[in-house]
Amino acid sequence: MVNLSDSGFTPEQTSYLSGFVSGILQGRELPFLGQDGERRFTHEPDQSVYGTPLEDLCKEERIKHEQNGLDCWDAIIANAATNEFPKDGDVFRYKFHGLFFVSPAQESLMLRCRIAGGALTSEQLRGLAGVAEKWGPGHADLTTRANVQIREIMPENAPNVLMALTDMGLTSQGSGADNIRNITASPTTGFDPDELIDVMPYARAMHHYILKNRDLYGLPRKFNISYDSGGRVSVCADTNDIGFYAVKVGENDKGIAPGIYFRMQLCGITGHKQFATDCGVLLTPAETIPVAAALIRVFIENGDRTNRKKARLKYLVDDWGFEKTLEETQKKLAFPMRYFPLEDCAPSLPKSKHGHLGIHQQSDGKHYIGVLTPVGRMSVQQMLALADVADEFGRSEIRLTVWQNLIIPGIPEEKLQAAITAIQATGLDHRNNAITGGLIACTGSRGCKYAAADTKGNAITLGNHLASKMILDQPVNIHLTGCHHSCAQHYIGDIGMMGTRVKVSDGSTVDGYNIVLGGGVDDTQAIAREIWNGVAFEEIPGLVEKLLCTYLAQRENDESFAAF
């Protein structure tokens, strides 16, 4: 038995270390020290998880309690040796490493990366293309969290895929399950003429803070954080659990130094028809990381672990209110949070709808080109070619957007035409299309077991139909999501669709959608309202065509579709 009594440690430290050593001797998970100095075990000594008795835990909480998902590397290796898929609780634990067993939609694993602020180097894009080519399906998908997913990975290749990611300076840790998802940031930050501050350093700092703090895994449910720089392209920060919005504070009588700060908005969860709301707090950029961490720790300790439907931050805040939530957060901070009226902050400029596409001048006089990647899918050849474009004409960087497409920054005026020619040679285009420029689709039934419809396939069919029938002079956003999980955020689309099975005359079912209209985000914030229920997809291209034609015929002046 190890004796720590003569070690010179304080009684608390001795107690902690005794637990540490006995945990190892019993073959249990390693305990770790929380930010507040408390001991934390995967196997809680008091047989509860943050006060919830074991018998009350929901299924996923029991799995996490049995073994921390971060510690299933042995299972990943063992299953690779026999090329077997994870079983039982390991299906959930694999998601802690960004690996999703997507059976029965596909008998394979899907990799979801983690790309802070959606910023990739050209070398990393090549590396991802290599993963997709060697171990995946020959293509990759851009997601609505400015992230990359690669499908059709077999268990025997999973360790190599994860090691390759690390080798190229990326990770997938915590990109699935009950963890803090990819940190998003305004995609033009750092070179946006309209922005108030470059938020990439803070998005990166948040990303690394999470990676380095083991107690920030295994939340009651998933958690989203986003930084809006005040720039021209929306990052949909108000759809996140925490949305940090840059604002300018001028001279005031409240004792706050003029400068650039962040407002903190809380509890965006549009699948539950709720945007994030300003909670009255004003933070310096550097304060955003400890405040987010403190709030997340409050959520970890107090969120519902018995009912998955009530386990998001929103439900804790609904129960407690902002006041108590912020009081509990304050207790974990070494500095006081600053309160300041929202109306005393200068409003940001409106966002540019579809500003993620086309050619735009940067703050340094160079240009960025937004490239349309239909429903987010890119072949390996396109990925390699775009990496070459970024190297040859830009600054060897690619920015992913939450609109399922990408931006190549840093292109001097004299190289623009050559860059455009090279982009078009890949089969992609930079030109905005008022319909397809905002056509978003989740994975759908070809790759997700929850899907009621082939969202990506249907979106392409719909986009092609509309593009062949009309010229729209105002951008519209059309979002197709396969189920109520709302990965494609149908409630923020001008036209949103949620998949459902529709019965036809012979008794079988076909792809169909419930259709909502009138959604928006940021300065056009609105939750779309359901207009049609259970429409078979084959009727939808004609229906949407009629809808848009009615808009074109009856709008007043250049009234937007959202206003119409």
* Cβ 501 to ligand SF4 shortest distance, Å: 12
Among the candidate windows 128-136, 257-265, 405-413, 445-453, which touches ligand SF4 by CB under 6 A? Answer: 445-453
**Helices 122-134 and 158-167, interaxial angle, to 10°?**
170
User: Residue for token digits 């939609």?
Assistant: 105
Contact status: 442 vs ligand SF4 (CB under 6 A): yes
Contact status: 450 vs ligand SF4 (CB under 6 A): yes
Comparing CB distances to ligand SF4, the nearer of 121 and 270 is 270
Contact status: 482 vs ligand SF4 (CB under 6 A): yes
Contact status: 485 vs ligand SF4 (CB under 6 A): yes
* Cβ 448 to ligand SF4 shortest distance, Å: 3
Among the candidate windows 63-71, 113-121, 438-446, 544-552, which touches ligand SF4 by CB under 6 A? Answer: 438-446
* Cβ 68 to ligand SF4 shortest distance, Å: 24
518 backbone dihedrals φ, ψ, rounded to 5°: 95, 20
Among the candidate windows 3-11, 120-128, 442-450, 544-552, which touches ligand SF4 by CB under 6 A? Answer: 442-450
Residue nearest to ligand SF4 (CB): 482
What is the per-residue DSSP string for 344-400?
GEEPPPPP-TTTTSEEEE-TTS-EEEEEB-GGGEEEHHHHHHHHHHHHHHS-SEEEE
Contact status: 32 vs ligand SF4 (CB under 6 A): no
- Compute the distance between CA of residue 181 and CA of residue 178 in angstroms, rounded to an integer: 9
Q: How many CA atoms, within 13 angstroms, populate the side-chain half-sphere of residue 532?
A: 18
Among the candidate windows 20-28, 218-226, 351-359, 444-452, which touches ligand SF4 by CB under 6 A? Answer: 444-452
Contact status: 448 vs ligand SF4 (CB under 6 A): yes
* Cβ 56 to ligand SF4 shortest distance, Å: 26
Contact status: 483 vs ligand SF4 (CB under 6 A): yes
523 backbone dihedrals φ, ψ, rounded to 5°: -70, -10
Q: What share of the chain is helix, strand, coil (3-state, %, to 5)?
A: 40, 20, 40
Contact status: 486 vs ligand SF4 (CB under 6 A): yes
- Compute the distance between CA of residue 114 and CA of residue 176 in angstroms, rounded to an integer: 10
* Cβ 407 to ligand SF4 shortest distance, Å: 24
User: Residue for token digits 């025997």?
Assistant: 156
Other Cβ atoms within 10 Å of 412 Cβ, number: 13
Contact status: 410 vs ligand SF4 (CB under 6 A): no
* Cβ 498 to ligand SF4 shortest distance, Å: 8
- Compute the distance between CA of residue 116 and CA of residue 485 in angstroms, rounded to an integer: 23
Number of residues in contact with ligand SF4 under rule CB under 6 A:
12
User: Residue for token digits 């959930």?
Assistant: 92
Which residues touch 223 (CB under 8 Å, ≥6 apart)? Answer: 179, 180, 181, 241, 242, 296, 299, 313
Contact status: 487 vs ligand SF4 (CB under 6 A): yes
Contact status: 59 vs ligand SF4 (CB under 6 A): no
Contact status: 514 vs ligand SF4 (CB under 6 A): no
Burial classification of residue 38, based on how many CB atoms lie within 10 Å of its CB (0-12 exposed, 13-18 middle, 19 or more buried): exposed
Q: Distances from the Cα of 66 to the Cαs of 79, 148, 181, 227, in angstroms? A: 19, 30, 22, 35
Among the candidate windows 238-246, 399-407, 475-483, 533-541, which touches ligand SF4 by CB under 6 A? Answer: 475-483
Instruction: Report the interface residues with ligand SF4, using CB under 6 A.
Output: 442-444, 448, 450-451, 481-483, 485-487
